[in-house]
Amino acid sequence: MRDEPAARDGVSSIANLRQASRLLSRRLVVVGVLVTLCLIGGATFVITEMRAKQLLETRRELLTLNTVLAEETARAMQSVDLVLRNVIESFTGDEPLTSESFLVLATGRQTHDSLKAKTAGIPQLDAVTVVGADGRLLNFSRYFPIPDIDLSDRDYFARLRDNAVIEPFVTEPVQNRGTGTWTIYLSRRLVGADGRFLGLVMGAIDLNYFDSFYRSLKLGGQSAISLWRQDGTLLTREPAIAGGGRQFKIEAFAPEIMAQQGGYYEISDAIDGAARLVATRAITGYPMVINVTRTRDEVLKDWTREAFFGVGATALCIIAILLILWTLGRQSRANIVQAEAHLAREEAVRAREAAEAQLRQSQKMEAIGQLTGGIAHDFNNLLNVVMANLEWIERQLHNDPKLLGRVRDAISGAERAAETTHMLLAFARQQAPSAITTDVNRLIQTFARLLRTTLGGQITLTLDLAPDLPSLLVDTNQLENALLNLAVNARDAMPKGGSLTIATRVSAAEASGNEPRIVIDVTDTGPGMPPEVAAQAFDAFFTTKEVGKGTGLGLNQVLRFVRTCEGEATIASREGEGTTIRLVLPTGKPAPSSRMAA
């Protein structure tokens, strides 16, 4: 048995390699999870930071542009307001202004010429109008003489007449019915020396001026500039949108924003239905607000594209890393398979060498049989003497447990030596080795402990033993060897695990008056056999295993044993449904002499 240490070393090496592979697999899984989480976390952080940076840059751009436009709008309004102040000053002069003197000055041709001259050079100022205390049109820069027009029903007239305000008032936009252009009026209240209300001075501002100015900035995309009254009335917008002159409730006119004269906010449903980023600022000195906006989709368009490529690159990196880790794990498993194959080849070589040696030795068996029998007989006589003396010593050592234990160990060893001697005698004389009346169920229950060790943890062994089974006259060693061969074949057929069931029962032939026969079914849940393989399974040297992993003698030995017992062995198998090997053994006859090859 000089090859046993090498076999044990090989098995130990395989076990160590499997343990190292399992440890490596766990570490690779941990590394894969950590790397994946790190990449996802890093990509999420970078993408989030890019988004925040894009929104911050847009905020700065919109606020800066909004400030510039508010200043330009204020200057445009100031130019018109300056004309209105000059007109008011021309009426007051050095003398106290009364209703009568105001009416004379306001309706004169000289005033008309002065108003017409003041509109020149101010492109946003379309006309200047003077209205009396009763709402009648007194003078107009566009034509003279002045037609009889009553403006007393206009909201702005009533507001300035009834409220002693000194701030300018901006009217709602009015569309010219002839030209279709939109106009707003900047109005100032005119009072006499006694504080009495005398009328209004108004400047008509063409909103096309602001539209053209905003359009010239060429913001493009989905950007928008809008001019509002502080009560939420839309004055104009570029690009144009339906709703001019309507009043909207938007966040730009919230008290907290108006208190700060401006601000920045996001809105998910602007007046055009889009989600927008809005910079807003009040026009200094005038009840107006200007907004500059961009849609969130446009602002984040570049970020969305970069985020998509970033996510894709991260996913590719994760896939590449997982593939590398998977390759390493697969290589580790391949190393185990290679080592197992190498060990199997070595075992096959050793088995072949043993078979060749057995063949050579079989030619000498007859010559040395008598010598072996004589030596075994003499050795058995010596063992009888040793056993007798050990039993006598055992009876004398009741008070010395330590020595008593050693003596019992010696007796056990002697009994095993006697069994070996008995086998030598049986071999030498070609007698039945040890056909004894056997409780098959008890034998299987006892032998199951060895079978579970042989099968390993991945295969479940189940016993289904019929009660009241008749005794069987059989060589227990040969029966155990047959069960072991069947269990090993089942284990090799289920490398990924499964279940093996050993069942016993009495054959139905007993009911017809024939001698009772015991049926032993060994069933596995492996892949099963096709018909052509099942038909040859009991043939000597037939195997479907890889080279070096089977000799093809296991099932043939089982068949030889059953036939020596004058029994039967059959196979029931279908692909994908497992395999059942049935042994039918008669109970009334001992198994004839048979030596089964290891």
Q: Cα angle at 579 between 577 and 584, to 5 degrees?
A: 140
Mean pLDDT for the stretch of residues 579-585: 91
Q: What's the pLDDT band for 420 if we cut at 50, 70, 90?
A: low
What pLDDT, on the 0 to 100 scale, is given for residue 141? 85
User: Which pLDDT tens digit goes with each residue over 72-88?
Assistant: 999 998 999 899 888 88
In terms of C-beta density within 10 A (0-12 exposed, 13-18 middle, 19 or more buried), how is residue 549 classed? middle
CB under 8 Å to 277, separation ≥6 — which residues? 55, 58, 59, 62, 264, 266, 293, 294, 295, 296, 299
Q: Write the secondary structure of 421-475 as one string of H (helix), E (strand) and C (coil).
A: HHHHHHHHHCCCCCEEEECHHHHHHHHHHHHHHHHCCCEEEEEEECCCCCCEEEE
Residue 227 region, left (φ>0) first, then alpha (ψ -120 to 50), else beta? beta
Alpha-carbon span 62 to 354, nearest angstrom: 92
Task: Using the Cα atoms of residue 48, residue 52, residue 53 and residue 54 in order, give the sign of their dihedral.
Answer: positive
Answer whether the bond into residue 145 is a cis peptide, omega within 30°. yes
DSSP-based three-state secondary structure for 343: helix
Contact by Cβ (8 Å): 135, 153 = yes
Calculate mean pLDDT across residues 218-245. 82
261 or 517, higher pLDDT: 517
- Indicate the average pLDDT of the chain: 80
Contact 497, 490 (CB under 8 A): no
Round to whole Å and give the CA distance between 475 and 211: 112
pLDDT of residue 596: 36
Q: What is the pLDDT of residues 148-193, one digit of tens each?
A: 888 888 878 888 888 887 888 898 888 766 567 788 889 988 888 8
Locate CATH 3.30.450.20 in the chain: 93-208, 218-299
Residue 369: CA count within 13 A, CB half-sphere: 12
| pLDDT digit string, tens, across residues 475-529 | 888 888 888 888 888 888 888 889 999 999 988 665 445 678 899 999 999 888 8
What predicted TM-score, i.e. pTM, was given to this entire model?
0.49
The DSSP letter of residue 8 is: H
Q: In a 3-state reduction of DSSP, which class is residue 262?
A: strand
**Contact indicator for 186, 53 with CB cutoff of 8 Å:** no
Structure tokens at 216: 């010239």
Distance CA 192, CA 93 (A): 12
CA–CA separation, 27 vs 32, rounded Å? 8
Give the pLDDT band of residue 11 (cuts 50, 70, 90).
low
pLDDT band at 110 (very low <50, low <70, confident <90, very high): confident
Give the chain's length: 598
The DSSP bridge pattern shows strands 174-175 and 182-191 to be antiparallel
How confident is the model over 186-216, as pLDDT tens digits? 998 888 888 888 889 999 898 888 888 888 8
* Token reading at 121: 């050079």
What pLDDT, in 10s, does the model give residues 281-333? 888 888 889 989 888 888 888 888 888 888 888 888 889 888 888 888 888 77
DSSP string, 541-563: T---SPTTS--S-HHHHHHHHHH
Judge: domain 433-586, CATH 3.30.565.10.
yes
| Mean pLDDT computed over 125-146 | 87
Distance CA 248, CA 104 (A): 43
- Which part of the chain is CATH 3.30.565.10? 433-586
What is the tens place of the pLDDT at every residue in 448-472?
887 887 788 888 999 999 988 888 8
Task: Give me the CATH code for the 93-208 domain, please.
Answer: 3.30.450.20
Q: How many CB atoms lie within 10 A of CB 501?
A: 17
User: Cβ distance 502 to 519 under 8 Å?
Assistant: no
pLDDT, residue 504, reads 93
Q: For residue 372, give the nearest of 419, 414, 424, 423 by alpha carbon.
A: 424
Intra-chain end-to-end CA distance of the chain, in Å: 13
**CATH topology (fold) of 218-299:** Beta-Lactamase (3.30.450)
pLDDT tens digits, residue range 264-281? 888 777 777 788 888 888
Long-range own/partner contacts, residues 94-100 (CB < 8 A, 24 or more apart): 96/192, 96/193, 96/194, 97/192, 97/193, 97/198, 98/192, 98/193, 98/194, 99/133, 99/192, 99/196, 99/198
Whether 592 has a pLDDT exceeding 60, the answer reads: no
Residue 189 buriedness (CB in 10 A; 0-12 / 13-18 / 19+) = buried
Q: Are the beta carbons of 519 and 583 closer than 8 angstroms?
A: yes
Residue type, 575: E
pLDDT of residue 553: 63
Rounded Cα distance between 239 and 570, Å, is 92
Higher-confidence position of 336 and 361: 336
pLDDT exceeds cutoff 50 at 433: no
